[in-house]
A and B are shown apart, each in its own frame.
Chain A
Amino acid sequence: MKRILALALACLMMLACVSASADALSDLQAKGKIRVGANIAFPPYEFYYLNPETGEEEICGFDMKLAYGVGEELGLEVEIVDQAFSGLITALNVGDVDMLISGLAVKPERLEVVDFSIPYFAGEQIMLMTKENAEQLKTVEDMKGKRIGAQMGSLQAQILEEQFPDSEGYLIDNPNVLALDLVQGNIDGWLITDLVAKQYMAVYADQVELVICDVPVVYDNSAGIAIAVQKGDNATLLDALNAYITRIKEDGTFDSWVDEAAAQSATLLDTSAE
């Protein structure tokens, strides 16, 4: 028994050593591959897209373009790992993935556990409602006792807790399910990023009219969303990422990705509606 315990301890210590090795960038280059964690259910950030030309399912969205771009920049192969959003940071910190590109907003609590690149995008946070609800619910006060949905572990979940303490919070991992909850009336409002909201407004247009309601959503948008990497000796990696982000933002590459992703996810809606 003692021997088994000692062995287990030794294994744990070895694991600890592996995760705290030298420079993050050279580690990745030694592996030749980066594993990028994302929650692929967030059009147009990241989503599964059935390419009408090849008939094959692809992982698309501007986050994913960025992931592949980073791979190309660093000369590494990219593997996308689809994961529940709320588990992303843990997956990064246990070394299951090497970086996160998943519309991850820079938040103080997250900064304590991971490091971020410079932001590459900033979405607006809004509350989505059925038109019927939106006519009655216009202020934070109106939301008292109402049920508000948000994705578990997200920036919106935090907004929900801080700004709507008198409302009932409803947290779910999957945005698709939250949309269904909103349409079916299980929640009264849904805190979400504007770009994503627009997708779902279009998806359900034939069933119910969803609108961005008047309830004010206050948040600090200066931080934006960024690439997350494990804490540790990651200065060279972050430098490389930051230089790359600055470049694609300046030369308009990133904006073209956003447009492309929006167009793709719009056709995605067309095909799914058929």
Chain B
Amino acid sequence: MIDFAKAWSILTGKFGTFMEGVGVTLQLAVLTVVLGSLLGLVVAVFRRTRFWPLRILMNIYVAFIRGTPLLVQVLIIVYGLPQIGFRLPRMTLCVIALVINSGAYMAELIRAGLQSVDRGQTEAADSLGMSASQRMLYVILPQAIKVTLPAAGNEFIVIIKESSVLYAVGVYELTYQAYKLASVNYRYIETLLDAALIYFVLTYVMTKLLGLLERRLRRSEKTSE
């Protein structure tokens, strides 16, 4: 039976343990979304170059990452890289795995952002005599990023949730902490419900904050028009 009183006493009694996990989870999410966005940006821009081998390489990368489960990617990176000589700290390996994963999704989001920039902008930049890289850097990209920003925030929320697979490789994030508590208190459902509640609070608050940011961005749109 699910004992809600017990769930509550576990939550309050082991709050510190849960919060340790939250700290790691947020740290992972922040690092991943920042580095993943940069990677995604590079990939998205490379996918538009005229140099076709690069374009194909980037397409393969995005297709492969989107077509394989995150857990498998994590296991390959975390146990595979050390095997071929890259003995990095576990956290670093996990961030690498998450960034590689998130980068592919961000590349897709940024591509959509780039495509949303009106063709007239390209023509205008051309008529001013800008080079292709200038056009990208000063005209297209700033507008695309603004469109993509809310989606990047959404990716942040996704990573908060998806980083839970890292419990499988012993990263002390929220799910790991909950799982560890449950393995000694034998109250699986109650302890995991606590973890679920904490995840929900995290993502709900983030969603609300993102809503505010989005509204703020839209306001600037109106005044600039």
Cβ-defined contact, B184 with A109, below 8 A:
yes
User: Known: A171-B183, A172-B170, A184-B82. Contact between A87 and B188, CB under 8 A?
Assistant: yes
Which one of A89, A170, A172, A184 contacts B87 once the chains associate, using CB atoms below 8 Å? Answer: A184
Q: Does A12 contact B (CB under 8 A)?
A: yes
A16 to chain B, nearest CB (A): 6
Q: Does A269 contact B (CB under 8 A)?
A: no
Q: Kindly state whether residue B182 has any CB partner on chain A within 8 Å.
A: yes
Judge whether A185 and B82 touch: CB under 8 Å.
Answer: yes
Query: Among B87, B182, B186, which residue has the most Cβ atoms of chain A within 10 A?
Result: B186
Indicate whether A152 reaches chain B with its CB closer than 8 angstroms.
yes
A86-B192 Cα distance, complex, nearest whole Å: 13
B55 at the interface (CB under 8 A from A): no
What is the CA–CA distance of A16 and B186 in the complex, to the nearest angstrom?
18
Bound form: Cα–Cα A177–B79 in Å: 9
Q: Chain A's nearest CB lies how many Å from the CB of B36?
A: 24
Contacts of B146 in A (CB 8 A): none
Report chain B residues within 8 Å CB of A170.
170
Bound-state CA distance A86–B183 (Å) is 5
Is B180 on the interface with A (CB-CB < 8 A)? yes
Residues of A within 8 Å of B183, CB to CB, are 86-87, 152-153, 157, 171
Residues of the B chain whose Cβ atoms lie less than 8 Å from the Cβ of A109: 184, 186
Q: Decide if B83 touches A113 in the complex (CB within 8 Å).
A: no
**Partner among B87, B180, B188 whose Cβ is within 8 Å of the Cβ of A152:** B180
Q: How many residues of B contact A (CB 8 A)?
A: 17
Bound: A157/B184 CA distance, A: 9
The size class of the interface chain A forms with chain B is 20 to 34
| A258 vs B69: C-alpha distance when bound (angstroms) | 39
Query: Is A77 at the interface (CB under 8 A from chain B)?
Result: no
- Tell me, rounded to whole Å, the shortest Cβ–Cβ distance linking B107 to chain A: 30
The answer to the question of B90 belonging to the interface, with a C-beta cut-off of 8 Å to chain A, is yes
> Would you give the shortest CB distance from B148 to chain A, in whole angstroms?
36
- Closest B residue to A168 by beta carbon equals B172
Decide yes or no whether A117 CB sits under 8 A from chain B: no
A16 touching B1 in the complex, CB below 8 Å, given contacts A89-B186, A153-B183: yes
In the complex, whether A166 has a CB less than 8 A from a CB of chain B is: no
Is A256 an interface position by the 8 A CB rule?
A: no
Q: Once bound together, how far apart are the Cα atoms of A29 and B173, in whole Å?
A: 44
**Given contacts A90-B186, A93-B186, A113-B186, A185 and B87 within 8 Å (CB-CB):** yes
B179 at the A interface (CB under 8 A): yes
A93 to B188, CA, bound (A): 11
Binary flags per residue of B187-209, CB closer than 8 Å to A gives 1, else 0: 01000000000000000000000
- Give 4 closest A-B pairs by Cβ, nearest first: A153-B183, A86-B183, A184-B82, A90-B188
User: Can you list 11 A-B pairs, Cβ within 8 angstroms, ordered by A?
Assistant: A12-B1, A86-B179, A89-B186, A90-B188, A113-B186, A171-B176, A171-B183, A177-B169, A180-B79, A184-B83, A186-B90
Which of B's residues lie within 8 Å of A, judged by CB? 1, 79, 82-83, 87, 90, 168-170, 176, 179-180, 182-184, 186, 188
